[in-house]
Structure 1
Amino acid sequence: IGLLGTKASWDLMTDCDTLLMVGTSFPYSEFLPEEGQARGVQIDIDGRMLGIRYPTEVNLVGDSAETLRALIPLLERKEDRSWREEIEQNVADWWEVLEARAMNDADPINPQRVFWELSSRLPDNCIISSDSGSSANWYARDLKLRRGMKASLSGTLATMGPGVPYAIAAKFTHPDRVAIALVGDGAMQMNGLAELITVAKYWERWSDPRLIVLVLHNGDLNQVTWEQRAMEGDPKFDAAQTVPSFPYARYAELIGLKGIRVDDPEQLGTAWDEALTADRPVVLEAITDPEVPPLPPHITFEQARALTSALRKGDSGSRGIVRQSFKEKLAEILPHR
């Protein structure tokens, strides 16, 4: 939910009459139901976390799994399934919107397409880690996780840099499972490149050598750039936001890993297939368009006004922003069946 969420989850929070919070410290209360709209129930093993994000009537201290097992027999099934069916239809519609958005052309690659092509190819029981930044947007929206997979990002700390270290930790803990790190070029230059040396040192000890690092090479600290535009009304400050170009795939080859560079969206599927069948860790470098907007599921008047202000002030990417934003909204409006 929230800025990384979906229209279906927005509708869920807007219309629900009961909110059950299980083991969460979700800090963005503005994306929860309005106070007084829903009755709140919260489960947490730490009693200090109860009721601090949303007014709750029932606070339960305990292990989440055990507490849920005790609560389930007390539930009464509602015969009227209309609201549930509406939400389910909204979810199905939203997946169609995401597919349409992913297939929009860009300069040169739409980052959503990178994740969409990966989604259907995710190996069973793989372990996924996402860095903070725009990669977290597409990770949260465009990947369909299945039972048995593990996925994580720096949700509470929201810092750059955990993507590759998390994947390395996954391989040491589960050397027989595929690990995939989803990282932007800013985080990759912060610490990811150095972490690849660790990968090069240890990968031959893993029973399954596959560790894939996706690098979104867009030359921009993209998440902060979009936050400045949509929240502050400031244009991109190129001196601070531009990330130096670097040959990530070639660097991987230099230290004994496999490097794949792709700048054609039609080659993304082949690139993922090659990475997922490699006999060693892979750096998959995708040249992506920084002007594809991570549109929130619900755009407020304040956000729209701030973005307009940023464009009027002479944002260097204004032309691409207008073009890509129009395509994104069009994909949401037009039927896809």
Structure 2
Amino acid sequence: MLNSGRRVAMLVGAGALDATEEVMQVADTLGAGVAKALLGKAVVPDDVPYVTGSIGLLGTKPSWDLMQGADTLLMVGSGFPYSEFLPPIGQARGIQIDVSGRMLSIRYPMELALLGDSKQTLAELLPLLERKEDRSWQEKIVAAVEDWWKVMDSRAEPADVDRDGDRPRVRPQAVFAELSRQLPDRAVLSSDSGSAANWYARHIRMRTGMKGTLSGSLATMVPGMAYTIAAKFAYPDRVAVGTIGDGAMQMGGMAELITAAKYYRDWDDPRMVVVVLNNEDLNQVTWEQRAMAGDPKFDASQDLPYVPYAAFAELIGLRGIKVDRSAQLADAFEEAFAADRPVIVDVMTDPEEPPIPPHITFAQFEALTTSVLADPKEGVAGAVNAAREFAEGILPRR
């Protein structure tokens, strides 16, 4: 099946985390593209040209296009549940490898289901594969990935906004792009749910040796801080990095900082950096209401009180760095990664930056635009930002 496929797409998940070399060998042999479920973000590094990045609502446009154009799907170690982002049923022949029999064929009608460890199964499969001489499919994928990173770089350009007069705002994409550039080797990353997960999925470029995790089913708030602290106990000699929204920080993250303050002296490397997106909004739900229901922001359920998280970190003996301008980001992360204790990087981010999905229908765009225009406070700005991101996704070279 794989040898006869002309347009092979691979989807890898957490079950393939120890099969990096085998995944890349299979993809190279088949001339395939590789998309990653969020729990499999560290399976293959993002500097591999045919790696399309994350898939799904928080994923990339190249991953969407990869699946929409594939005639063969090889799914390895993933329980990715959102089948609408896989190839249309009937278009592609499906092969799945999973160590758990109950996961086989429950997301997509697989023609062949293989029960086994990802690394061992791929190793046995490799000698049977024929190298494809026609590389046009993979070359198309590589070009799409190059365009996508241009779009991401464009969206991550610093652009500060004064929304409240006395509280400047930083574009969240710029935060994650700068963080990605400064991540230490072998860093262990965690993200909370919410809009932080969008920027983590799209703007963090995984390198070989890094690890990353978040709530695999999404919508589970607060685990970001717990995961980050757990990473320090599991890998006390590595730098742990958490990206967390202010809603999750107020629900439980601030209390867990006390845990870090209690134990950090016992860690071989005391560095733990937590980036807080301080936008005073339950941002993911705000944008979901706009895009899915066409409703303007409902302040009573979405607004959050302002909390000085950097000051709180200092209060309990940790390091706190407040950022309210893009120009401060580089120095803030450099200082954070050089610290001798856990650090909170408290960034005043813009809540009106829309986390546009990789594939948005015109109906969703219409609902989103109508809803933000109806918002008496930020409607026009939100509509302009949404239109900008929508256009950039269509015209990446412009």
TM-score by length of 1: 0.97
Structure-2 residue corresponding to 1:319: 380
Deviation of 1:6 (Å): 1.1
Superimposed CA distance per residue, residues 83-112 of structure 1 (whole angstroms, 9 cap, x where no aligned partner): 101101111111111001111524220000
Structure-2 residue corresponding to 1:211: 272
Q: Does the 8 A contact of 1:229 with 1:235 survive in 2?
A: yes
Counterpart of 2:321 in structure 1: which amino acid? Answer: I
C-alpha distance in 1 between matches for 2:299 and 2:121: 51
Q: Percent identity?
A: 60
Superimposed CA distance per residue, residues 232-266 of structure 1 (whole angstroms, 9 cap, x where no aligned partner): 11111100001110010000000000000000101
* Aligned 1:303-314 pairs, distance under 5 A: 303-311=364-372, 313-314=374-375
C-alpha distance in 2 between matches for 1:112 and 1:197: 29
Q: Does the 8 A contact of 1:236 with 1:316 survive in 2?
A: no
TM-score by length of 2: 0.82
Q: Does the 8 A contact of 1:14 with 1:33 survive in 2?
A: yes
* Aligned 1:1-337 pairs, distance under 5 A: 1-103=55-157, 105-107=159-161, 108-156=169-217, 158-311=219-372, 313-314=374-375, 316-332=377-393, 333=395, 335=397
**Alpha carbons of structure 1 residues 334 and 9: separation in structure 2 relative to 1, 3 Å:** closer
C-alpha distance in 1 between matches for 2:113 and 2:59: 26
Counterpart of 1:204 in structure 2: which amino acid? Answer: R
Superimposed CA distance per residue, residues 166-224 of structure 1 (whole angstroms, 9 cap, x where no aligned partner): 01111111111000000000001011000000000000111111001100000100001
Q: Does the 8 A contact of 1:163 with 1:183 survive in 2?
A: yes
Deviation of 1:11 (Å): 0.9
Q: Does the 8 A contact of 2:270 with 2:342 survive in 1?
A: yes
Higher relative contact order (CA 8 A, sep 6+): 1
Q: Does the 8 A contact of 2:147 with 2:397 survive in 1?
A: no
Deviation of 1:24 (Å): 1.2
SS at match of 2:74: strand
Counterpart of 1:210 in structure 2: which amino acid? Answer: R
C-alpha distance in 2 between matches for 1:180 and 1:17: 38
C-alpha distance in 2 between matches for 1:330 and 1:35: 29
Deviation of 1:322 (Å): 1.6
Q: Does the 8 A contact of 2:373 with 2:383 survive in 1?
A: no
Superimposed CA distance per residue, residues 41-97 of structure 1 (whole angstroms, 9 cap, x where no aligned partner): 011111111111111010111111111111111111111101101101111111111
Deviation of 1:226 (Å): 0.6
The number of equivalent residue pairs is 336
C-alpha distance in 1 between matches for 2:218 and 2:170: 29
C-alpha distance in 2 between matches for 1:48 and 1:184: 34
C-alpha distance in 2 between matches for 1:53 and 1:225: 29
C-alpha distance in 2 between matches for 1:6 and 1:150: 20
SS at match of 1:88: helix
Q: Does the 8 A contact of 2:193 with 2:218 survive in 1?
A: no
Q: Does the 8 A contact of 2:373 with 2:382 survive in 1?
A: no
**Alpha carbons of structure 1 residues 75 and 6: separation in structure 2 relative to 1, 3 Å:** same
**Alpha carbons of structure 1 residues 171 and 334: separation in structure 2 relative to 1, 3 Å:** closer
* Structure 1: gaps of 5 or more residues: none
**Alpha carbons of structure 1 residues 150 and 192: separation in structure 2 relative to 1, 3 Å:** same
Counterpart of 1:288 in structure 2: which amino acid? Answer: T
